[in-house]
Chain A
Amino acid sequence: MNASLRRIGAVVLRYAYLHKRSLPRVFEIVFWPVMELLVWGFVSVYVRSLSADPAVRIAVFLIGAMIFWDILYRSQQGVSIAVIEDVWTQNIVNVLVSPLRIWEWLTATFIYGFLKTCVITAILWALAYGLYRFDLADAMGLYLVPLAANLFLFGWALGVFTSALVIRWGHAAEALIWGIPFLVQPLSAIYYPLSTLPEWLRPFALLLPSTHVFEGMREVLATGRMASASLWASFGMNLVAFAAASMVFRFLYGQAKNTGRLGRLGLD
Protein backbone atom coordinates (compact mmCIF):
# COMPACT_ATOMS: atom_id res chain seq x y z
CA MET A 1 0.00 0.00 0.00
CA ASN A 2 2.83 2.34 0.94
CA ALA A 3 4.53 1.56 -2.37
CA SER A 4 1.27 2.33 -4.18
CA LEU A 5 1.04 5.72 -2.51
CA ARG A 6 4.58 6.54 -3.55
CA ARG A 7 3.86 5.68 -7.16
CA ILE A 8 0.62 7.68 -7.15
CA GLY A 9 2.57 10.55 -5.61
CA ALA A 10 5.18 10.30 -8.36
CA VAL A 11 2.55 10.67 -11.09
CA VAL A 12 0.93 13.63 -9.33
CA LEU A 13 4.41 15.15 -8.99
CA ARG A 14 4.88 14.81 -12.73
CA TYR A 15 1.85 17.04 -13.37
CA ALA A 16 2.83 19.45 -10.64
CA TYR A 17 6.19 19.93 -12.38
CA LEU A 18 4.35 20.56 -15.60
CA HIS A 19 2.38 23.44 -14.14
CA LYS A 20 5.13 24.87 -12.04
CA ARG A 21 6.79 26.49 -14.99
CA SER A 22 4.20 26.61 -17.68
CA LEU A 23 2.39 29.95 -17.46
CA PRO A 24 0.39 29.41 -20.68
CA ARG A 25 -0.87 26.16 -19.19
CA VAL A 26 -2.00 27.79 -15.97
CA PHE A 27 -3.56 30.57 -17.99
CA GLU A 28 -5.40 28.06 -20.17
CA ILE A 29 -6.82 26.26 -17.15
CA VAL A 30 -8.34 29.46 -15.83
CA PHE A 31 -9.18 31.24 -19.08
CA TRP A 32 -12.08 29.18 -20.45
CA PRO A 33 -14.12 28.76 -17.29
CA VAL A 34 -13.74 32.44 -16.45
CA MET A 35 -14.95 33.47 -19.91
CA GLU A 36 -17.84 31.08 -19.63
CA LEU A 37 -18.77 32.47 -16.25
CA LEU A 38 -18.76 36.00 -17.63
CA VAL A 39 -21.12 35.01 -20.44
CA TRP A 40 -23.57 33.17 -18.19
CA GLY A 41 -23.27 35.83 -15.52
CA PHE A 42 -24.31 38.57 -17.90
CA VAL A 43 -27.05 36.41 -19.36
CA SER A 44 -28.39 36.02 -15.84
CA VAL A 45 -28.18 39.76 -15.22
CA TYR A 46 -30.15 40.29 -18.41
CA VAL A 47 -32.75 37.66 -17.52
CA ARG A 48 -33.20 39.23 -14.10
CA SER A 49 -33.87 42.58 -15.76
CA LEU A 50 -36.67 41.06 -17.83
CA SER A 51 -38.76 40.08 -14.83
CA ALA A 52 -39.16 41.81 -11.51
CA ASP A 53 -40.82 38.73 -10.05
CA PRO A 54 -38.55 37.42 -7.28
CA ALA A 55 -39.93 33.94 -7.86
CA VAL A 56 -38.04 33.86 -11.13
CA ARG A 57 -34.85 32.23 -10.01
CA ILE A 58 -33.53 31.43 -13.39
CA ALA A 59 -30.73 33.94 -12.99
CA VAL A 60 -29.06 32.10 -10.11
CA PHE A 61 -29.81 28.75 -11.73
CA LEU A 62 -27.69 29.71 -14.71
CA ILE A 63 -24.63 30.71 -12.73
CA GLY A 64 -24.88 27.72 -10.40
CA ALA A 65 -25.35 25.41 -13.38
CA MET A 66 -22.31 26.80 -15.15
CA ILE A 67 -20.05 26.31 -12.13
CA PHE A 68 -21.40 22.80 -11.57
CA TRP A 69 -20.97 21.87 -15.22
CA ASP A 70 -17.39 23.02 -15.01
CA ILE A 71 -16.73 20.65 -12.10
CA LEU A 72 -17.95 17.71 -14.16
CA TYR A 73 -16.11 18.78 -17.30
CA ARG A 74 -12.76 19.53 -15.60
CA SER A 75 -12.86 16.30 -13.66
CA GLN A 76 -13.25 14.32 -16.89
CA GLN A 77 -10.61 16.39 -18.66
CA GLY A 78 -8.14 15.99 -15.80
CA VAL A 79 -8.01 12.23 -16.27
CA SER A 80 -7.99 12.03 -20.06
CA ILE A 81 -5.69 14.99 -20.71
CA ALA A 82 -3.20 13.48 -18.29
CA VAL A 83 -3.29 10.22 -20.20
CA ILE A 84 -2.98 11.81 -23.62
CA GLU A 85 -0.19 14.04 -22.35
CA ASP A 86 1.95 10.91 -22.04
CA VAL A 87 0.95 9.85 -25.55
CA TRP A 88 1.91 13.28 -26.93
CA THR A 89 5.31 13.23 -25.26
CA GLN A 90 6.00 9.59 -26.29
CA ASN A 91 6.53 8.77 -22.65
CA ILE A 92 3.63 6.39 -22.28
CA VAL A 93 5.63 3.19 -22.83
CA ASN A 94 8.04 4.24 -20.07
CA VAL A 95 5.04 4.58 -17.77
CA LEU A 96 3.34 1.36 -18.87
CA VAL A 97 6.45 -0.78 -18.29
CA SER A 98 7.19 0.74 -14.87
CA PRO A 99 5.80 -0.90 -11.72
CA LEU A 100 2.88 1.56 -11.80
CA ARG A 101 -0.49 -0.24 -11.75
CA ILE A 102 -3.25 0.98 -14.02
CA TRP A 103 -5.51 1.79 -11.10
CA GLU A 104 -2.72 3.80 -9.49
CA TRP A 105 -2.25 5.71 -12.72
CA LEU A 106 -5.96 6.52 -13.04
CA THR A 107 -6.16 7.44 -9.36
CA ALA A 108 -3.25 9.84 -9.75
CA THR A 109 -4.82 11.48 -12.78
CA PHE A 110 -8.06 11.81 -10.83
CA ILE A 111 -6.24 13.49 -7.94
CA TYR A 112 -4.57 15.82 -10.43
CA GLY A 113 -7.92 16.66 -12.02
CA PHE A 114 -9.49 17.09 -8.60
CA LEU A 115 -6.87 19.57 -7.42
CA LYS A 116 -7.08 21.50 -10.68
CA THR A 117 -10.87 21.63 -10.50
CA CYS A 118 -10.85 22.81 -6.88
CA VAL A 119 -8.64 25.75 -7.80
CA ILE A 120 -10.84 26.70 -10.75
CA THR A 121 -14.04 26.34 -8.74
CA ALA A 122 -12.64 28.58 -6.01
CA ILE A 123 -11.81 31.23 -8.62
CA LEU A 124 -15.27 30.99 -10.21
CA TRP A 125 -16.89 31.16 -6.80
CA ALA A 126 -15.02 34.35 -5.92
CA LEU A 127 -15.76 35.89 -9.31
CA ALA A 128 -19.45 34.98 -9.21
CA TYR A 129 -19.68 36.55 -5.81
CA GLY A 130 -17.71 39.67 -6.72
CA LEU A 131 -19.47 40.32 -10.01
CA TYR A 132 -22.97 38.93 -9.57
CA ARG A 133 -23.45 38.58 -5.81
CA PHE A 134 -23.92 34.84 -6.26
CA ASP A 135 -22.50 32.99 -3.25
CA LEU A 136 -22.21 29.30 -4.08
CA ALA A 137 -21.67 28.19 -0.47
CA ASP A 138 -24.50 30.25 0.89
CA ALA A 139 -26.87 29.20 -1.87
CA MET A 140 -26.11 25.49 -1.71
CA GLY A 141 -25.30 25.03 1.95
CA LEU A 142 -24.09 21.57 2.93
CA TYR A 143 -25.67 20.09 -0.20
CA LEU A 144 -22.67 21.43 -2.05
CA VAL A 145 -20.51 18.56 -0.81
CA PRO A 146 -22.53 15.53 -1.97
CA LEU A 147 -23.62 17.23 -5.19
CA ALA A 148 -20.06 18.20 -6.12
CA ALA A 149 -18.80 14.76 -5.09
CA ASN A 150 -21.25 13.16 -7.51
CA LEU A 151 -20.08 15.46 -10.29
CA PHE A 152 -16.45 14.57 -9.58
CA LEU A 153 -17.32 10.87 -9.63
CA PHE A 154 -19.18 11.08 -12.91
CA GLY A 155 -16.35 13.13 -14.39
CA TRP A 156 -13.93 10.46 -13.29
CA ALA A 157 -16.01 7.71 -14.86
CA LEU A 158 -16.22 9.66 -18.12
CA GLY A 159 -12.48 10.33 -17.89
CA VAL A 160 -11.70 6.64 -17.54
CA PHE A 161 -13.96 5.93 -20.51
CA THR A 162 -12.36 8.58 -22.75
CA SER A 163 -8.88 7.47 -21.65
CA ALA A 164 -9.74 3.97 -22.80
CA LEU A 165 -10.50 5.42 -26.23
CA VAL A 166 -7.06 7.08 -26.23
CA ILE A 167 -5.40 3.78 -25.32
CA ARG A 168 -7.19 2.06 -28.17
CA TRP A 169 -7.06 4.74 -30.88
CA GLY A 170 -4.19 7.02 -29.80
CA HIS A 171 -4.14 10.52 -31.28
CA ALA A 172 -7.18 9.73 -33.38
CA ALA A 173 -9.31 9.71 -30.22
CA GLU A 174 -8.27 13.21 -29.24
CA ALA A 175 -11.43 14.84 -30.56
CA LEU A 176 -13.53 12.45 -28.47
CA ILE A 177 -11.84 13.61 -25.27
CA TRP A 178 -13.19 17.09 -25.80
CA GLY A 179 -16.46 15.95 -27.31
CA ILE A 180 -17.79 13.14 -25.10
CA PRO A 181 -18.77 15.37 -22.15
CA PHE A 182 -20.88 17.45 -24.51
CA LEU A 183 -22.68 14.29 -25.48
CA VAL A 184 -24.14 14.06 -21.98
CA GLN A 185 -24.71 17.80 -21.70
CA PRO A 186 -28.13 18.14 -23.38
CA LEU A 187 -29.55 15.14 -21.49
CA SER A 188 -28.21 16.25 -18.12
CA ALA A 189 -30.71 19.13 -17.93
CA ILE A 190 -28.01 21.57 -16.88
CA TYR A 191 -29.37 24.98 -17.87
CA TYR A 192 -33.05 24.01 -17.92
CA PRO A 193 -35.26 21.73 -15.83
CA LEU A 194 -35.78 18.11 -16.81
CA SER A 195 -39.43 18.93 -17.61
CA THR A 196 -38.19 20.90 -20.62
CA LEU A 197 -37.09 17.69 -22.33
CA PRO A 198 -39.69 15.77 -24.38
CA GLU A 199 -41.43 13.23 -22.23
CA TRP A 200 -39.99 10.19 -24.00
CA LEU A 201 -36.42 11.45 -23.40
CA ARG A 202 -36.78 11.95 -19.65
CA PRO A 203 -36.33 8.32 -18.56
CA PHE A 204 -33.03 8.24 -20.46
CA ALA A 205 -31.97 11.53 -18.91
CA LEU A 206 -32.66 10.09 -15.47
CA LEU A 207 -30.16 7.33 -16.17
CA LEU A 208 -27.37 9.91 -15.99
CA PRO A 209 -26.05 10.70 -12.50
CA SER A 210 -25.53 14.28 -13.63
CA THR A 211 -29.25 14.86 -14.30
CA HIS A 212 -30.05 14.16 -10.64
CA VAL A 213 -27.35 16.57 -9.55
CA PHE A 214 -28.58 19.47 -11.69
CA GLU A 215 -32.23 18.83 -10.79
CA GLY A 216 -31.17 18.72 -7.15
CA MET A 217 -29.18 21.91 -7.48
CA ARG A 218 -32.22 23.81 -8.78
CA GLU A 219 -34.34 22.35 -5.99
CA VAL A 220 -31.86 23.53 -3.37
CA LEU A 221 -31.57 26.97 -4.93
CA ALA A 222 -35.36 27.29 -5.03
CA THR A 223 -36.35 25.71 -1.72
CA GLY A 224 -33.17 25.35 0.31
CA ARG A 225 -33.42 21.54 0.34
CA MET A 226 -33.61 18.51 -1.90
CA ALA A 227 -34.77 14.91 -1.71
CA SER A 228 -31.96 12.72 -0.44
CA ALA A 229 -33.30 9.93 -2.67
CA SER A 230 -31.97 11.89 -5.67
CA LEU A 231 -28.54 12.04 -4.11
CA TRP A 232 -28.53 8.31 -3.54
CA ALA A 233 -29.82 7.67 -7.04
CA SER A 234 -27.03 9.77 -8.45
CA PHE A 235 -24.45 8.01 -6.32
CA GLY A 236 -25.72 4.58 -7.32
CA MET A 237 -25.65 5.47 -11.00
CA ASN A 238 -22.14 6.78 -10.58
CA LEU A 239 -21.05 3.42 -9.24
CA VAL A 240 -22.62 1.74 -12.26
CA ALA A 241 -21.04 4.29 -14.64
CA PHE A 242 -17.66 3.79 -13.02
CA ALA A 243 -17.90 0.02 -13.19
CA ALA A 244 -18.92 0.24 -16.85
CA ALA A 245 -16.10 2.65 -17.69
CA SER A 246 -13.58 0.38 -15.95
CA MET A 247 -14.83 -2.59 -17.92
CA VAL A 248 -14.51 -0.69 -21.19
CA PHE A 249 -11.02 0.37 -20.16
CA ARG A 250 -10.01 -3.20 -19.32
CA PHE A 251 -11.40 -4.48 -22.57
CA LEU A 252 -9.80 -1.88 -24.83
CA TYR A 253 -6.53 -2.06 -22.91
CA GLY A 254 -6.45 -5.81 -23.37
CA GLN A 255 -7.22 -5.39 -27.04
CA ALA A 256 -4.42 -2.83 -27.47
CA LYS A 257 -2.08 -5.27 -25.73
CA ASN A 258 -3.08 -7.96 -28.18
CA THR A 259 -2.82 -5.96 -31.36
CA GLY A 260 0.44 -4.29 -30.38
CA ARG A 261 -1.11 -0.81 -30.39
CA LEU A 262 -0.12 -0.33 -26.75
CA GLY A 263 3.59 -0.39 -27.47
CA ARG A 264 3.20 1.97 -30.42
CA LEU A 265 1.14 4.64 -28.67
CA GLY A 266 2.48 8.05 -29.51
CA LEU A 267 4.52 6.81 -32.42
CA ASP A 268 1.93 7.47 -35.10
Chain B
Amino acid sequence: MSTDPALLVRVTGLSKTYGSTVALSGLDLTLQRGRILGLLGPNGAGKTTAIHILMGLLTPGSGQVRVLGMDPGRERHRIAERMNFASAYVQLPSNLKVYENLNVFAGLYGVRDARRKVEELLELFGVAELSGRLTGSLSSGEKTRVNLVKCLLNDPELLLLDEPTASLDPEMADHVRTTLRRIQRERGIGILYTSHNMPEVEELCDSIVFLHQGLKIAEGPPREVLARYGTRDLDELFIKIVRKEHGSAGGGS
Protein backbone atom coordinates (compact mmCIF):
# COMPACT_ATOMS: atom_id res chain seq x y z
CA MET B 1 0.00 0.00 0.00
CA SER B 2 1.28 3.41 -1.01
CA THR B 3 1.54 6.01 1.70
CA ASP B 4 2.75 8.70 -0.67
CA PRO B 5 1.12 11.83 0.75
CA ALA B 6 1.22 13.54 -2.65
CA LEU B 7 -1.14 10.91 -4.02
CA LEU B 8 -4.74 12.08 -3.67
CA VAL B 9 -6.42 9.33 -5.63
CA ARG B 10 -5.22 5.87 -6.47
CA VAL B 11 -7.51 3.49 -8.27
CA THR B 12 -6.43 0.07 -9.49
CA GLY B 13 -8.43 -2.43 -11.50
CA LEU B 14 -11.73 -0.75 -10.74
CA SER B 15 -14.79 -2.38 -12.29
CA LYS B 16 -18.49 -1.78 -11.89
CA THR B 17 -21.49 -3.28 -13.59
CA TYR B 18 -25.15 -2.33 -13.30
CA GLY B 19 -27.05 -5.48 -14.08
CA SER B 20 -25.76 -6.31 -17.54
CA THR B 21 -24.32 -2.84 -18.24
CA VAL B 22 -20.56 -2.65 -17.83
CA ALA B 23 -19.93 0.90 -16.58
CA LEU B 24 -16.23 0.54 -15.68
CA SER B 25 -13.81 -2.16 -16.60
CA GLY B 26 -10.41 -2.47 -14.93
CA LEU B 27 -9.77 1.25 -14.54
CA ASP B 28 -6.39 2.43 -13.23
CA LEU B 29 -6.05 6.04 -12.25
CA THR B 30 -3.87 8.27 -10.10
CA LEU B 31 -4.13 11.92 -9.20
CA GLN B 32 -1.28 13.88 -7.62
CA ARG B 33 -1.71 16.75 -5.24
CA GLY B 34 -1.96 20.09 -7.06
CA ARG B 35 -2.77 18.50 -10.43
CA ILE B 36 -5.84 18.62 -12.65
CA LEU B 37 -6.80 15.32 -14.18
CA GLY B 38 -9.42 15.30 -16.90
CA LEU B 39 -11.65 12.25 -17.02
CA LEU B 40 -13.12 12.41 -20.43
CA GLY B 41 -15.31 10.41 -22.69
CA PRO B 42 -18.69 10.35 -24.40
CA ASN B 43 -21.99 10.07 -22.55
CA GLY B 44 -22.23 6.75 -20.77
CA ALA B 45 -18.46 6.23 -20.71
CA GLY B 46 -18.46 5.68 -16.94
CA LYS B 47 -17.20 9.07 -15.72
CA THR B 48 -19.94 9.70 -13.18
CA THR B 49 -19.71 6.10 -12.02
CA ALA B 50 -16.02 6.59 -11.22
CA ILE B 51 -16.68 9.86 -9.35
CA HIS B 52 -19.49 8.33 -7.32
CA ILE B 53 -17.27 5.45 -6.27
CA LEU B 54 -14.56 7.88 -5.13
CA MET B 55 -17.13 9.65 -2.96
CA GLY B 56 -18.39 6.45 -1.35
CA LEU B 57 -21.81 7.01 -2.91
CA LEU B 58 -21.53 3.85 -4.94
CA THR B 59 -20.12 0.45 -4.04
CA PRO B 60 -17.41 -0.69 -6.47
CA GLY B 61 -17.72 -4.08 -8.12
CA SER B 62 -14.06 -4.99 -7.82
CA GLY B 63 -10.71 -3.28 -7.64
CA GLN B 64 -8.99 -1.07 -5.12
CA VAL B 65 -9.80 2.55 -4.38
CA ARG B 66 -7.82 4.92 -2.18
CA VAL B 67 -8.79 8.54 -1.71
CA LEU B 68 -6.46 10.61 0.50
CA GLY B 69 -5.03 7.25 1.48
CA MET B 70 -8.37 5.95 2.73
CA ASP B 71 -11.03 3.53 1.50
CA PRO B 72 -14.24 5.44 0.63
CA GLY B 73 -16.28 2.33 1.43
CA ARG B 74 -15.10 2.44 5.05
CA GLU B 75 -14.03 6.00 5.77
CA ARG B 76 -16.34 8.09 3.64
CA HIS B 77 -16.85 10.69 6.35
CA ARG B 78 -13.20 11.32 7.06
CA ILE B 79 -12.53 11.68 3.35
CA ALA B 80 -15.55 13.94 2.93
CA GLU B 81 -14.12 16.46 5.38
CA ARG B 82 -11.11 17.05 3.14
CA MET B 83 -12.81 16.73 -0.25
CA ASN B 84 -15.69 18.39 -2.08
CA PHE B 85 -17.87 17.89 -5.10
CA ALA B 86 -19.93 19.77 -7.65
CA SER B 87 -21.89 18.75 -10.70
CA ALA B 88 -24.17 20.52 -13.13
CA TYR B 89 -26.74 17.86 -12.29
CA VAL B 90 -26.78 18.35 -8.54
CA GLN B 91 -28.39 21.52 -7.21
CA LEU B 92 -28.51 23.44 -4.00
CA PRO B 93 -32.11 23.77 -2.76
CA SER B 94 -33.84 26.32 -4.98
CA ASN B 95 -36.14 27.51 -2.20
CA LEU B 96 -33.31 28.82 0.01
CA LYS B 97 -31.34 32.00 -0.45
CA VAL B 98 -27.76 31.72 -1.61
CA TYR B 99 -26.23 32.68 1.73
CA GLU B 100 -28.65 30.37 3.55
CA ASN B 101 -27.58 27.39 1.46
CA LEU B 102 -23.92 28.25 1.93
CA ASN B 103 -24.39 28.68 5.69
CA VAL B 104 -25.99 25.24 5.90
CA PHE B 105 -23.11 23.60 4.03
CA ALA B 106 -20.57 25.56 6.04
CA GLY B 107 -22.18 23.96 9.09
CA LEU B 108 -22.13 20.49 7.51
CA TYR B 109 -18.42 20.88 6.74
CA GLY B 110 -17.61 22.36 10.15
CA VAL B 111 -16.27 25.61 8.71
CA ARG B 112 -14.97 28.07 11.29
CA ASP B 113 -15.94 31.69 10.81
CA ALA B 114 -18.46 30.68 8.16
CA ARG B 115 -19.74 34.17 7.42
CA ARG B 116 -16.32 35.49 6.46
CA LYS B 117 -15.53 32.40 4.43
CA VAL B 118 -18.78 32.59 2.47
CA GLU B 119 -18.27 36.28 1.71
CA GLU B 120 -14.69 35.76 0.64
CA LEU B 121 -15.58 32.93 -1.75
CA LEU B 122 -18.61 34.70 -3.23
CA GLU B 123 -16.26 37.59 -3.91
CA LEU B 124 -13.71 35.30 -5.53
CA PHE B 125 -16.25 34.01 -8.03
CA GLY B 126 -17.67 37.48 -8.62
CA VAL B 127 -21.13 36.65 -7.27
CA ALA B 128 -21.16 38.59 -3.99
CA GLU B 129 -24.29 40.49 -5.04
CA LEU B 130 -26.24 37.21 -5.34
CA SER B 131 -25.96 36.46 -1.64
CA GLY B 132 -29.53 37.47 -0.79
CA ARG B 133 -31.17 35.97 -3.87
CA LEU B 134 -33.22 32.80 -3.94
CA THR B 135 -31.03 30.05 -5.38
CA GLY B 136 -33.81 28.98 -7.75
CA SER B 137 -33.89 32.42 -9.34
CA LEU B 138 -30.26 32.31 -10.50
CA SER B 139 -29.15 31.72 -14.09
CA SER B 140 -27.28 28.48 -14.72
CA GLY B 141 -23.98 30.36 -14.85
CA GLU B 142 -24.68 31.91 -11.47
CA LYS B 143 -25.78 28.56 -10.03
CA THR B 144 -22.58 26.93 -11.20
CA ARG B 145 -20.48 29.57 -9.51
CA VAL B 146 -22.46 29.27 -6.28
CA ASN B 147 -21.97 25.48 -6.45
CA LEU B 148 -18.24 26.08 -6.74
CA VAL B 149 -18.34 28.35 -3.71
CA LYS B 150 -19.96 25.49 -1.79
CA CYS B 151 -17.14 23.28 -3.07
CA LEU B 152 -14.41 25.42 -1.57
CA LEU B 153 -16.01 26.07 1.83
CA ASN B 154 -13.95 23.40 3.57
CA ASP B 155 -10.62 24.26 1.88
CA PRO B 156 -10.60 20.85 0.20
CA GLU B 157 -7.40 19.11 -0.83
CA LEU B 158 -9.33 17.32 -3.54
CA LEU B 159 -12.17 18.50 -5.76
CA LEU B 160 -14.33 16.17 -7.80
CA LEU B 161 -16.10 18.12 -10.51
CA ASP B 162 -18.56 16.17 -12.63
CA GLU B 163 -19.25 18.16 -15.79
CA PRO B 164 -19.44 21.38 -13.80
CA THR B 165 -19.71 23.57 -16.89
CA ALA B 166 -22.23 21.39 -18.74
CA SER B 167 -25.03 23.97 -18.67
CA LEU B 168 -22.94 27.07 -19.32
CA ASP B 169 -22.44 29.21 -22.41
CA PRO B 170 -18.84 29.26 -23.71
CA GLU B 171 -18.02 32.65 -22.23
CA MET B 172 -19.19 31.66 -18.76
CA ALA B 173 -17.52 28.25 -19.00
CA ASP B 174 -14.28 30.05 -19.80
CA HIS B 175 -14.69 32.34 -16.82
CA VAL B 176 -15.27 29.35 -14.52
CA ARG B 177 -12.23 27.51 -15.90
CA THR B 178 -10.01 30.53 -15.41
CA THR B 179 -11.11 30.86 -11.81
CA LEU B 180 -10.60 27.15 -11.19
CA ARG B 181 -7.12 27.29 -12.67
CA ARG B 182 -6.24 30.19 -10.44
CA ILE B 183 -7.56 28.52 -7.30
CA GLN B 184 -5.80 25.31 -8.13
CA ARG B 185 -2.49 27.17 -8.58
CA GLU B 186 -2.87 29.31 -5.48
CA ARG B 187 -4.03 26.56 -3.15
CA GLY B 188 -2.44 23.48 -4.65
CA ILE B 189 -5.75 21.62 -4.82
CA GLY B 190 -5.99 18.43 -6.84
CA ILE B 191 -8.94 18.34 -9.21
CA LEU B 192 -10.58 15.44 -10.98
CA TYR B 193 -12.61 16.97 -13.76
CA THR B 194 -15.02 15.10 -15.99
CA SER B 195 -16.19 16.49 -19.28
CA HIS B 196 -17.09 15.59 -22.82
CA ASN B 197 -16.00 19.02 -23.94
CA MET B 198 -12.61 18.50 -25.57
CA PRO B 199 -11.24 22.05 -25.86
CA GLU B 200 -12.11 22.60 -22.23
CA VAL B 201 -10.15 19.61 -21.05
CA GLU B 202 -7.27 20.43 -23.35
CA GLU B 203 -6.99 23.89 -21.88
CA LEU B 204 -7.49 23.03 -18.24
CA CYS B 205 -5.97 19.65 -17.51
CA ASP B 206 -2.40 18.59 -16.81
CA SER B 207 -3.26 15.13 -17.99
CA ILE B 208 -6.26 13.22 -19.25
CA VAL B 209 -7.75 9.77 -19.04
CA PHE B 210 -9.97 8.95 -21.97
CA LEU B 211 -12.78 6.55 -21.13
CA HIS B 212 -14.99 4.78 -23.59
CA GLN B 213 -17.62 2.22 -22.60
CA GLY B 214 -15.92 1.78 -19.26
CA LEU B 215 -12.48 1.15 -20.72
CA LYS B 216 -9.48 3.42 -20.56
CA ILE B 217 -8.54 4.13 -24.18
CA ALA B 218 -5.77 6.67 -23.73
CA GLU B 219 -4.01 8.64 -21.04
CA GLY B 220 -1.28 11.21 -20.54
CA PRO B 221 -0.75 14.94 -20.93
CA PRO B 222 -3.12 16.26 -23.63
CA ARG B 223 -0.25 17.10 -26.04
CA GLU B 224 1.29 13.66 -25.75
CA VAL B 225 -2.00 11.91 -26.33
CA LEU B 226 -2.63 14.03 -29.41
CA ALA B 227 0.82 13.27 -30.77
CA ARG B 228 0.38 9.57 -30.17
CA TYR B 229 -2.83 9.47 -32.15
CA GLY B 230 -1.63 11.96 -34.74
CA THR B 231 -4.61 14.23 -34.29
CA ARG B 232 -4.71 18.02 -34.16
CA ASP B 233 -6.93 18.40 -31.14
CA LEU B 234 -8.89 16.34 -28.67
CA ASP B 235 -12.11 16.87 -30.60
CA GLU B 236 -10.62 15.03 -33.53
CA LEU B 237 -9.18 12.38 -31.21
CA PHE B 238 -12.57 11.95 -29.56
CA ILE B 239 -14.28 11.32 -32.88
CA LYS B 240 -11.49 9.03 -34.03
CA ILE B 241 -11.59 6.90 -30.90
CA VAL B 242 -15.35 6.65 -30.71
CA ARG B 243 -15.72 5.82 -34.44
CA LYS B 244 -12.93 3.27 -34.32
CA GLU B 245 -14.43 1.56 -31.32
CA HIS B 246 -17.80 1.39 -32.95
CA GLY B 247 -16.24 0.19 -36.18
CA SER B 248 -14.31 -2.65 -34.55
CA ALA B 249 -17.18 -3.62 -32.25
CA GLY B 250 -19.69 -3.25 -35.08
CA GLY B 251 -20.37 -6.93 -35.61
CA GLY B 252 -20.12 -7.92 -31.94
CA SER B 253 -22.26 -7.20 -28.89
Contact = CB atoms under 8 A, between A and B. Distances in A.
A96 to B, nearest CB: 6
B18 A259 contact: yes
A100 B89 contact: no
A262 B109 CA distance: 21
Interface stretch (A27-35, A87-95, A214-222): A87-95
Interface string B60-89: 000000000000000001001100010101
Interface in B39-72: 48-49, 52, 55-59
A94 B107 CA distance: 13
Contacts of B104: 10-11, 13-14, 17
Interface of A: 3, 6-7, 9-11, 13-14, 17-18, 22, 85-86, 89-91, 93-101, 254, 257-260, 262-263, 267
Contacts of A86: 93
Interface of B: 18, 23, 48-49, 52, 55-59, 77, 80-81, 85, 87, 89-97, 100, 103-110, 150
A7 B23 CA distance: 34
Q: Is the interface of A mostly helix, strand, loop or mixed?
A: helix
A94 B150 CA distance: 10
Contacts of A254: 59
Contacts of A99: 77, 80-81, 108-110
Nearest to B106: A10
A89 B108 contact: no
Contacts of B92: 89, 91, 94
A3 B77 CA distance: 12
A91 B108 contact: no
A18 B110 CA distance: 21
11 contacts: A6-B107, A10-B106, A13-B104, A94-B91, A98-B80, A98-B108, A100-B108, A101-B77, A257-B57, A257-B58, A260-B58
A249 to B, nearest CB: 16
Contacts of B49: 260
Contacts of B107: 6-7, 9-10, 13
B95 A18 contact: yes
A93 B80 contact: no
A254 B57 CA distance: 10
Most A CB atoms within 10 A — which of B48, B91, B92? B91
Contacts of A98: 80, 105, 108-109
Contacts of B110: 3, 6-7, 99
B85 A258 contact: no
Nearest to B96: A17
Contact of B58 (A10, A11, A18, A263): A263
Given A89-B91, A93-B90, A257-B59, 6 more contacts: A13-B104, A17-B97, A99-B81, A254-B59, A259-B18, A260-B18
B91 A10 contact: no
B56 to A, nearest CB: 8
Contacts of B94: 89
A260 B18 CA distance: 8
Given A91-B92, A97-B85, A7 B58 contact: no
A94 B90 contact: yes
Contacts of A9: 107
A18 B48 contact: no
A16 B58 CA distance: 31
A218 to B, nearest CB: 42
A263 B57 contact: yes
Nearest to A97: B55
A100 to B, nearest CB: 5
Contacts of A96: 57
A90 B89 contact: yes
Closest 5 CB pairs of A and B: A10-B107, A89-B93, A90-B91, A98-B108, A263-B52
A91 B58 contact: no
Nearest to A3: B110
